[in-house]
């Protein structure tokens, strides 16, 4: 097996970054491309339809994401489909590493307090009517200090952080760790908010992280290429 390298690629499901995701995978030429998807969500993206057999809060989130994506002239999940296409182009295996979304959201709803549930629906309404400028401002706040942004979210929605972020970070990191036992070059495309936690969970490996802000800034290529953005190394 070649020397090991894991690259975590932080994405946002509503931004126009598909071409840059493709270029990064083409330049990395990984053996495996991992996606933050479960089989049902992957098939929904392939068929371009949302399953109706999912919890209400999941459908609400999907509606918000679809509305936001339209403001950036993209469709939700375009970056995931771009990564899958690039994986095929370089002969990489495709691995779906996320937890089953329906189960996750059902668990989330069971564990959330009434205060969190009310806050979730209030926030959902705000998301439905948010302008492109509002989304960009929120993105700037997140980019300026992602750790602080996530901690503030945890103060108001501790169950969301635990179930949607922390538990899935560990699950996806475990899947990548298993793949790393037999594959040397792995690229994992996940939501940018998962990057800090997954870096910590994978710190026994050599890991490079390319963040969403880098992808939105322009093409990102592997070392030795003509372009390479700021990234973070853990070893």
pLDDT in tens, 56-108: 667 767 777 777 777 777 788 899 999 999 999 999 999 999 999 889 988 99
Q: What is the mean pLDDT of the segment spanning 24-40?
A: 96
**Per-residue pLDDT tens digits for 212-222:** 999 988 777 55
Question: Could you tell me what percent of the chain has a pLDDT over 90?
Answer: 51
User: What's the structural domain count of the chain?
Assistant: 1
Residue 140 belongs to domain spanning: 5-234
**Is it the case that residue 37 has pLDDT exceeding 80?**
yes
DSSP letter for 184, please: S
Would you say 131 and 66 are in contact if contact means Cβ atoms under 8 Å apart?
A: no
Res 17: pLDDT: 92
Cα-based angle 36, 68, 94 (whole degrees, multiple of 5): 20
| pLDDT tens digits, one per residue of 134-186 | 777 887 888 888 888 888 888 889 999 999 999 999 999 999 999 999 999 99
Residue 153's Cβ-side half-sphere holds a number of Cα atoms within 13 Å equal to 20
Strand order in the sheet with 232-234: 93-96, 32-35, 185-191, 5-11, 207-210, 232-234
9-31 average pLDDT score: 92
Count the neighbouring beta carbons within 10 Å of the beta carbon of residue 218: 10
Q: Residue 141 contacts by C-beta under 8 Å, 6 or more apart in sequence?
A: 149
pLDDT tens string 188-234: 999 999 999 999 999 999 999 999 999 988 777 554 443 434 344 44
């Amino acid at each position: 097996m070649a020397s090991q390298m894991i690259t975590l690629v932080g994405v946002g499901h509503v931004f126009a970054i598909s071409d840059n995701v493709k270029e990064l995978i083409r330049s990395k030429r990984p053996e495996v491309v991992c996606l933050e998807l479960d089989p049902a969500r992957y098939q929904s993206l392939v068929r371009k339809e949302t399953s109706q057999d999912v919890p209400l809060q999941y459908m609400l989130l999907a509606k918000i994401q679809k509305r936001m994506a339209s403001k950036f002239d993209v469709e939700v999940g375009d970056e995931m489909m771009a990564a899958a296409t690039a994986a095929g182009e370089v002969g990489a295996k495709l691995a779906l590493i996320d937890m089953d979304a329906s189960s996750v959201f059902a668990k989330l709803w069971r564990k959330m307090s009434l205060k969190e549930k009310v806050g979730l629906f209030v926030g959902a309404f705000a998301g439905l009517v948010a302008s492109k400028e509002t989304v960009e401002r929120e993105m700037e706040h997140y980019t300026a200090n992602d750790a602080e942004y996530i901690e503030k979210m945890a103060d108001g929605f501790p169950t969301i952080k635990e179930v949607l972020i922390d538990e899935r970070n560990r699950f996806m990191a475990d899947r990548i760790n298993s793949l790393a036992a037999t594959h040397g070059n792995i690229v994992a495309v996940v939501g940018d908010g998962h990057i800090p936690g997954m870096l910590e969970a994978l710190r026994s490996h050599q890991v490079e992280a390319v963040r969403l802000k880098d992808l939105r800034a322009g093409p990102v290529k592997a070392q030795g290429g003509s372009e390479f953005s700021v990234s973070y190394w853990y070893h």
